[in-house]
Amino acid sequence: MRNIAALAIVLAATLATARAESPAETVAATAKDLASDQLAERLAARDAIQNAGSQASRPGAEAERAAYARACLGFLAPSNPQPARVWLTRMLGLFGGEESVPALAGLLGDSDAELRDAARRALQANPSPKASDALRAALGSAKDAVTIRGLLDGLAYRRDAGAVDAIAKRSTDPNPEIASAAILALGKIGNARAVAALVAAKGRAPEATKRAIDAAILDAPGADAKILGPMADGGDPTIRSGALARLMQADPAAAKVKVIAAIKDRDADVAAAAIRLGIDSQDAALRKSAIDAIPALAPGLQATAATIVGETGAKEAVPALKALVKSGDGAVRIAAITALGKAGAADATEPLLDRLANGDKEEQSAAERSLAVMRDPALDARLFQSAKAGSDPMALAAVRALASRNPAGTSAALGELARASDPSVRDAALDGLKAVGTATELKPLLEIVATSGDAKARARAQAAAGAIASRSPDPSAALEAIRAAMARAISPANRAELVGMLAAAPSPAALDEAVRAFADPDQGVRDAAIRTLAAWPEFSAGQPLLEIAREAPSDAKHYVLAMRGIAKILGIDGPSGKQRIALAKDALAAAKRPDEKRLIIAALGSMKAGEAGKLLEELSGDPDVGAEAKAALAKRKK
């Protein structure tokens, strides 16, 4: 009933608004409801009056807007309820003009604090210059701190240049909150007169206030080189750094001298700011001075400088970065390596390859990232050339870098290197092909797996070929390549490793191939087949694994692997709940030991199908696995 009543009130207010002929009449028709004891009625009146103000303020309707404002002014008398006076004052802040200023100025002295604040904010937003006059006049007579601070904020918001003298008088007020508000206001107004007032106030201010004055000066557009220069020479490091930055805008020539000197400053923050200003500068001479200073800096500043060089991409700093790569400080080396990736070019190849080959783990990672992101086409040619240089660490690092960058021709080049007689070159190329190899390299890699007598080479080639097959757009072609290689396998060990790759291109045909491999006369091939089936990524492997589990003795390795594979496959999303439950029931029937039953119970505990719960309830009475079944049931209920 309450909702119906509230709706009726809103509809009534809407109809009243619709009957009004103008925004001014909307105010007249609904202002009385602003103080209603019904919340819905108050909110409807507020919306109606605000919407009317928006309508009245449309372009070309100035007379309508003025009439709306006069209608609002008509309800500001003390005889009207406070909620109505406050809301209409706020509307005058949005839609009022010069006609509103006298009444709003009068409200600045009202006894109600909320109304005073609304009037001050309305004047603050009023477009008429007379609003500034009203705020200044009120500031001159204001007594309490809250009112004074509000007026100072209002004048600062308007950037009222005419209020500088009045505000300056408040900048040394014994009340620190008033003084702080005045200082901030002068900084926001920011003209030369306001800056002069701030400088004068600083001479009389307590030490605790001087930093706030300096910060206000730095915010002031009117601060010139005469003011900023001394601020850059001493005192608070943050102020000094800010003064240097402002001085670069106000007087670049004067700033240049100070920035060069500040690079060697004892304060690390000031020195870091100066380095950034120098390296960021459009002045080539200043930028060169900053870069030339890097070798003599303390390690912490060298790391900062290297980071700045990287951010700005200052290529002329590359020689300095190369030197820093050899620093005895680890943080400096990492910063320089990282910066070379952003600012360097092909001429930075050697130091980066050196760190990739010979650096610690963190340096190698940073060098690999830098070589991967460097945007210089000439770098690729250098890396190809370096990769063919032999088996020294730098050549191997070039292979690794090529795999990270993967420019055109990388996979073909790595495929060629994978046939190298040198094991270290071959292994580096095979590792790279794992990341970037294409279908073109699949058959040569499978040939290594099928015909090599080197187990280490086969393992790497198998990993690379498996990765290529798994991302192949044509799984059937990948399977045919694996089958062809199996036919050429020179030994059961080679054949077993190829069988282990069948899951990389899963399909019904690949699954059949894995099942056939389990019938191979060689034990190693059979072991590879069961491990492949147990790791199969599709639900279809469940039935072959179930047959193996049924036929194998309970103490056989193949039985254990088959049951573990079934438990994993039961967790695969996609098949229907009925299919998974059926497989689970068959697996429980095939289980020859409690351990394997527990595996199936754990899988049932993660199933959402209702039949899983029923099956677990049946198992909860089993003396061997009842506790596990009850725990799985409890898990399902959470």
Residue 611 burial (10 A CB sphere; 0-12, 13-18, 19+): middle
Answer yes or no: is pLDDT of 577 > 90: no
With the C-alpha atoms ordered 338, 341, 342, 343, is the resulting torsion angle positive or negative?
Answer: positive
Answer yes or no: is pLDDT of 7 > 50: no
What 3-state DSSP class applies to 582?
helix
- Residue 449: other Cβ atoms inside 10 A: 28
- pLDDT tens-digit map of 431-450: 999 999 999 999 999 999 99
- pLDDT tens-digit map of 473-495: 999 999 999 999 999 999 999 99
User: What predicted TM-score, i.e. pTM, was given to this entire model?
Assistant: 0.74
The whole-number pLDDT of residue 2 equals 45
The whole-number pLDDT of residue 305 equals 96
- How does the average pLDDT of the chain come out, rounded? 93
The whole-number pLDDT of residue 99 equals 97
Question: What does DSSP assign to residue 291?
Answer: H
Instruction: Give me the mean pLDDT over the 607-616 stretch.
Output: 85
Q: Quick one: pLDDT band at residue 345, thresholds 50, 70, 90?
A: confident
User: For residues 227 and 254, is the Cβ–Cβ distance under 8 A?
Assistant: no
CA–CA dist 55, 314 (Å, integer): 55
Name the helix (H) or strand (E) containing 559. helix 557-569
The whole-number pLDDT of residue 575 equals 80
Q: Quick one: pLDDT band at residue 11, thresholds 50, 70, 90?
A: very low
Q: Quick one: pLDDT band at residue 572, thresholds 50, 70, 90?
A: confident
Instruction: Give me the mean pLDDT over the 196-214 stretch.
Output: 92
CA–CA dist 483, 494 (Å, integer): 12
CA–CA dist 245, 273 (Å, integer): 8
Distances (CA, A) of 560 to 303, 499, 521, 549: 56, 19, 20, 8
The whole-number pLDDT of residue 12 equals 47
Instruction: Give me the mean pLDDT over the 180-203 stretch.
Output: 96
- pLDDT tens-digit map of 256-269: 999 999 999 999 99
The whole-number pLDDT of residue 21 equals 75
DSSP 121-157: HHHHH--SHHHHHHHHHHHHH--SHHHHHHHHHHHHH
User: For residues 167 and 187, is the Cβ–Cβ distance under 8 A?
Assistant: no
Answer yes or no: is pLDDT of 10 > 50: no
Q: Quick one: pLDDT band at residue 361, thresholds 50, 70, 90?
A: very high
Q: Which residue has the tokens 């990769």?
A: 387
Instruction: Give me the mean pLDDT over the 339-367 stretch.
Output: 94
Instruction: Give me the mean pLDDT over the 49-63 stretch.
Output: 96
The whole-number pLDDT of residue 252 equals 95
The whole-number pLDDT of residue 208 equals 84
The whole-number pLDDT of residue 16 equals 46
What is the identity of the amino acid at 246? Answer: R
Q: Quick one: pLDDT band at residue 9, thresholds 50, 70, 90?
A: very low
Instruction: Give me the mean pLDDT over the 322-348 stretch.
Output: 95
The whole-number pLDDT of residue 610 equals 78
The whole-number pLDDT of residue 637 equals 77
- Residue 114: other Cβ atoms inside 10 A: 13
User: For residues 396 and 426, is the Cβ–Cβ distance under 8 A?
Assistant: no
CA–CA dist 595, 365 (Å, integer): 44
Buried b / exposed e over 184-218, threshold 16 CB at 10 Å, is: bbbbbbbeebbbebbeebbeebeeebbebbbbbbb
Q: Quick one: pLDDT band at residue 75, thresholds 50, 70, 90?
A: very high
- pLDDT tens-digit map of 127-162: 999 999 999 999 999 999 999 999 999 999 999 999
The whole-number pLDDT of residue 207 equals 87
Q: Quick one: pLDDT band at residue 571, thresholds 50, 70, 90?
A: confident
- pLDDT tens-digit map of 220-244: 999 999 999 999 999 999 999 999 9
Distances (CA, A) of 203 to 172, 187, 198, 227: 10, 16, 9, 13
Instruction: Give me the mean pLDDT over the 384-403 stretch.
Output: 92
CA–CA dist 504, 468 (Å, integer): 9
Q: Which residue has the tokens 């109600």?
A: 112
Q: Quick one: pLDDT band at residue 319, thresholds 50, 70, 90?
A: very high
Instruction: Give me the mean pLDDT over the 589-609 stretch.
Output: 91
CA–CA dist 142, 406 (Å, integer): 72
Q: How far is CA 574 from the centre of its chain?
A: 33
Answer yes or no: is pLDDT of 405 > 90: yes
The whole-number pLDDT of residue 608 equals 80
CA–CA dist 268, 257 (Å, integer): 18
Answer yes or no: is pLDDT of 500 > 60: yes
- pLDDT tens-digit map of 37-53: 999 999 999 999 999 99
Question: What does DSSP assign to residue 503?
Answer: G
Q: How far is CA 3 from the centre of its chain?
A: 44
CA–CA dist 387, 425 (Å, integer): 9
With the C-alpha atoms ordered 253, 257, 258, 263, is the resulting torsion angle positive or negative?
Answer: positive
Question: Under 8 Å CB-to-CB from 106, ≥6 apart: which residues?
Answer: none
Nearest CA to 52 out of 31, 80, 36, 35 is that of 31
Answer yes or no: is pLDDT of 573 > 90: no
Q: Which residue has the tokens 């820093």?
A: 324
User: For residues 343 and 315, is the Cβ–Cβ distance under 8 A?
Assistant: yes
Which phi and psi (to 5°) does residue 418 adopt?
A: -65, -15
